[in-house]
Structure 1
Amino acid sequence: MLQGCTVQPLLTDLYQFTMAYGYWKSSKEKATAVFELYFRESPLGGEFTIFAGLQDCLLFLSKFQLTKEDVKYLQSVLPPTTEQGFYDYLRNIDTSAVTLRAVPEGSLVFPKVALLVVEGPLAIVQLLETPLLTLVNYASLVATNAARFRLAVGPEKRLLEMGLRRAQGPDGGLSASRYSYIGGFDGTSNVLAGKLYGIPLFGSMAHSYITSFTSMSEVEVQTLKPALEGQPAVDFVSLCKEWLARVCRLLQVPQDQINSSELAAFISYAMSYPRNFIALADTYNVMRSGVPNFCAVSLALHELGYRTVGLRLDSGDLVQQSLKVRRTLRTCAAEFGVSWFSDVPIIVSNGISEKDLIDLQNQRNEIDSIGVGTHLVTCTSQPSLGCVYKLTQVCGKPRIKLSEDREKMTLPGKKTAYRLYGPDGSPFLDLLTRDGESPPRAGEEIQCNVLSKRGECLRVRAARVETLYRVYFKHGQVSQGPCTPLEIRTHAQNSLTNLHPQHKHLQEPVPYQVAVTTKLCDLLTELTKESSPLPWQPDSSNHTA
């Protein structure tokens, strides 16, 4: 069963309905049309994008229908000259005649290659434009942003999404949690995302929990039962105080400098979650209070058979602090004979960006997990992917949009897309063909024209050829079973693994090539000549790759 963000048909731009009326008035509403949803440039300075949002698109299509209340509202906002017959038409429209082909969700996608190909009655597929763009644009952008964070930090460290409170509203926050997981994050703090999408949850305490305690007298429960069942409860408060004295002597930290209210908060939390104790150690002073208090409570838990989950830092020089904390943990582990204590995970957060992660990887550090919020969910360096939805064919006739800005020219006609792989298993070119053309075959020479090089002619041979599009929606029904976020995440990570490293560089990556067949290139040239006195011409030079 599909589960995701439900978008209503009225979540659209008014001009979609004014155009639909124009189509209806001109008796063109039933003309078969093909639209393509794609982007013109890879985001965030990179060379790849992770396609996301398909499951929500399918959910939207499967439920698309205007209610009586929707139509009544449209009657109140459209010009009074709009004929009643149009509203009767709107009451009965659905997506039973719509077909949607798409690249599998989680795939790597590249500029000018359609992510979605939508075919159906002109007025209806026009009405789908804004909702589909809404569902794909942000989802793909945040999944790609997350993938870049993962590439920046490497595969070893855990990445935790913690951006719900910083996201653009509740829908943005939920989408960010879902699609950052697909992009390579390991977990989220968002409880609803955990429930809906099965994303692993992470969370401990905030500074407010610690500052809510003012003294040890506020720790009302004094005892804790050992992990081993059947053992009597122990005076845990006294045990923590004993361990604090031992830790302070070892670390040569004056015990009178230890913040006792922080200790009270740690003890209270540990007794609430003895098997899941994580402490935020930077509320007052990291090395002269937070870390000694953490060590004391953790070692007291160890004496009762429990094992601490982690220590979190949220301010200051996180790299240097991680080194100091790790040295302290190892010192305690050696002195007190608790071997696992030296490896307690260190978790950091504090407005971390992609650049911060790159810098982190270039320095020696002892950080195990990283919580990321604002820069992930808001995609600070580029707030929009810029997907567009363009008409390419009506009644079997290819259509083209020309522009003084060459990048905004559309590729005409209904098309098929193929991905070509080299002998090393990496993709090296996406090939667009006219619908009905013979597909490229592995081992055969293929002549094509590269889009990013003004039509430069290229001859290539592929070790393997993959058809990119699958039919996901037809006859009003979803035609492929839904994928879970974990399945999409796995596909996305496998796709990234297979992409050649030169295309994954976070700065100045080698461009990935997208090309068109000779037939499609000829069609483009022909339609351009018909529509403009300045025709688009491919270069005549030949190159072999």
Structure 2
Amino acid sequence: MAAPSRNTCGLTERSVRERVPPLLNDLYQFTMAYAYWRAGRHQEPAVFELFFRDNPFGGGFSLFAGLHDCLLFLRSFRFSDEDVEFLRSVLPPATDPAFFQFLRGLDCSGVTVRSVPEGTVVFARVPLMEVAGPLAVVQLLETSLLCLVNYASLVCSNAARFRLAAGPRRRLLEMGLRRAQGPDGGLTASRYTHIGGFDLTSNVQAGFLFGIPVAGTMAHSYVTSFNSLEEVWPQTLAAANGDPEPVDVISLTKGWLSRVCELLGAEPEKIREGELAAFLSYAVAYPQNFLPVIDSYSVGCGLLNFCAVALTLCELGHRPVGVRLDSGDLCKQSVDVRRVFRLCSEHFSIPAFDSLIIVGTNNISEQSLAELNKKVKGVNVMVGVGTHLVTCTKQPSLGCVYKLVEVRGRPRMKISEDPEKSTVPGRKAVYRLVDMIHSLFSGVHQRLHKRRVYPHRHS
């Protein structure tokens, strides 16, 4: 079942302020800021660039994400009296008290940001953000900006890879909240996997804060909590055509179960009554949104029970949605389930069975999704992904860095014994070169204030 999106910009801004206060920072940012201030350099104009050194997941690109949160963070950046008092307690006792007054009046009104648009395909060593402003202030921003960009861009890029593996039409559901690294990790994952190409999330709070459509089915616990049909209540359901006389759904479902078992050559006495009761109870509660998990005991048994309940709903004019598979060989099971749906549709003349969906959610990785997409082409399977998506199993960090490139208009460079860690000095303009068929074939970095060599290739 899916819920509609909503616009909650104000809630989003408040959420960022609560999650990323100015004290969410490394201590050495404050000690450096004090040293700048003590030396009288805190107001010197400086420029930092944020970038990553290698494309993630062994691939050829990343998606840039986190910009919106960064801008909200900069807008709300301000130290409270309580913040300043805590800093007074952790910085060395000899720290000049006037420095704390300086911090209390600090904001980002003098900071400017140049950036590629959020969601843009980006590459290694290309500046994602350029942050310019007073030296002490832009130094203090480093850790928080990296925190906001690193995971957001990584999980967004991971989502894009899942989308590429799935193809453009298959619906993707993010359902990783319970496996995420904490509540904030779960919210960040839900938001940026949506930007990366996922259609839905199971995370209700993410739907509330960010307007992402939410969806869900049922857990195995609901199925296994039932023992018999006596637990189904109410035992009647009204037809969708408005007939006020409710129908005994237990008798109707038993009749359909016998017909389905006969069609498929199954033995009715081997059916798990508790599972049938769970499905029927859920269908009575959600006659237009019936989508149960069918492998709590076995897919074969669950499929028979689903078909019986779904055919009951169809007879009453309601429209079941489909089934969820959560274990075993999803490729084979999806094909087998679809075959049974088509057989029921043809044999019982129920066209709605042709449009039933199958949701696969068995610890799906990028590789298994690509395999599923290859083997079940033409089968309407929606995929739910959790662990491998939100934890970015193949690579735990994007490795973004925030490096000084200019002070007082003079380029600055870090030269390291490790060539990979050396930086390119100065502010830059970035150009992408495309060929006659609009395929990207190269990129160029140029000093920002030089005459543009490729004025029509700027991105």
Q: What's the TM-score once normalised by structure 1's chain length?
A: 0.80
Q: Counterparts of 1:174 and 1:364 in 2: how far apart (Å)?
A: 31
Please give the secondary structure, in 1, of the residue aligned with 2:398.
Answer: coil
Listed as ranges, the gaps of 5+ residues in structure 2 are 1-8
Q: Tell me how far 1:27 sits from its aligned partner.
A: 0.7
After superposition, the CA RMSD in angstroms is 1.2
Residue of structure 1 equivalent to 2:279: 266
Residue of structure 2 equivalent to 1:307: 319
Query: Which residue, 99, 102, 112 being the options, matches 2:112?
Result: 99
Q: Which amino acid aligns with 1:345?
A: I
1:109-258 superposed matches below 5 A: 109-258=122-271
Q: Tell me how far 1:314 sits from its aligned partner.
A: 0.2
* CA shift digits 1:104-126 (9 cap, x unpaired): 11111111111110000000000
Q: Counterparts of 2:373 and 2:308 in 1: how far apart (Å)?
A: 31
Identity %: 56
Please give the secondary structure, in 2, of the residue aligned with 1:256.
Answer: helix
For structure 1, which segment, 375-384 or 148-157, has the greater mean C-alpha deviation from structure 2 after superposition?
148-157
Residue of structure 2 equivalent to 1:327: 339
Q: Counterparts of 1:416 and 1:122 in 2: how far apart (Å)?
A: 21
Residue of structure 2 equivalent to 1:512: none
Contact 2:330/2:372 (8 A) holds in 1: no
Contact 1:39/1:111 (8 A) holds in 2: yes
Please give the secondary structure, in 1, of the residue aligned with 2:56.
Answer: coil
Q: Counterparts of 2:128 and 2:276 in 1: how far apart (Å)?
A: 54
1:454-533 superposed matches below 5 A: 464-466=456-458, 468=459
Q: Counterparts of 1:364 and 1:124 in 2: how far apart (Å)?
A: 54
Q: Counterparts of 2:243 and 2:440 in 1: how far apart (Å)?
A: 60
2:97 maps to 1:84: yes
Query: Which stretches of structure 1, 4 residues or longer, exceed 6 Å deviation after superposition?
Result: none
Query: Which residue, 72, 75, 92 being the options, matches 1:62?
Result: 75
Q: Counterparts of 1:256 and 1:98 in 2: how far apart (Å)?
A: 73
* CA shift digits 1:236-283 (9 cap, x unpaired): 121111111111111111101000000000000000000000011000
Residue of structure 1 equivalent to 2:356: 344
Residue of structure 2 equivalent to 1:291: 303
* CA shift digits 1:467-509 (9 cap, x unpaired): x3xxxxxxxxxxxxxxxxxxxxxxxxxxxxxxxxxxxxxxxxx
Q: How many positions carry a matched residue from both structures?
A: 445
2:374 maps to 1:374: no
Q: Which amino acid aligns with 1:336?
A: F
Please give the secondary structure, in 2, of the residue aligned with 1:280.
Answer: coil
* CA shift digits 1:23-76 (9 cap, x unpaired): 011111000000000000100011111000000000000000011000000011
Q: Counterparts of 2:292 and 2:123 in 1: how far apart (Å)?
A: 43
* CA shift digits 1:103-154 (9 cap, x unpaired): 1111111111111100000000000000000000000000000000111121
Q: Counterparts of 2:439 and 2:71 in 1: how far apart (Å)?
A: 30
2:309 maps to 1:317: no
Please give the secondary structure, in 2, of the residue aligned with 1:465.
Answer: coil
Residue of structure 2 equivalent to 1:502: none
Q: Which amino acid aligns with 1:128?
A: L
* CA shift digits 1:305-333 (9 cap, x unpaired): 11111111000111111111111111111
Q: Counterparts of 2:230 and 2:318 in 1: how far apart (Å)?
A: 24
Query: Which residue, 357, 361, 371 being the options, matches 2:373?
Result: 361
Q: Tell me how far 1:343 sits from its aligned partner.
A: 3.2
Contact 2:201/2:213 (8 A) holds in 1: yes
Q: Counterparts of 1:392 and 1:135 in 2: how far apart (Å)?
A: 21
Q: Tell me how far 1:201 sits from its aligned partner.
A: 1.2
Q: Which amino acid aligns with 1:465?
A: R
Contact 1:348/1:367 (8 A) holds in 2: no
For structure 1, which segment, 427-436 or 196-205, has the greater mean C-alpha deviation from structure 2 after superposition?
427-436
Q: Counterparts of 2:206 and 2:104 in 1: how far apart (Å)?
A: 34
* CA shift digits 1:323-354 (9 cap, x unpaired): 11111111111110112313311111111111
Q: Which amino acid aligns with 2:426?
A: G
Q: Which amino acid aligns with 1:347?
A: V
Q: What's the TM-score once normalised by structure 2's chain length?
A: 0.95
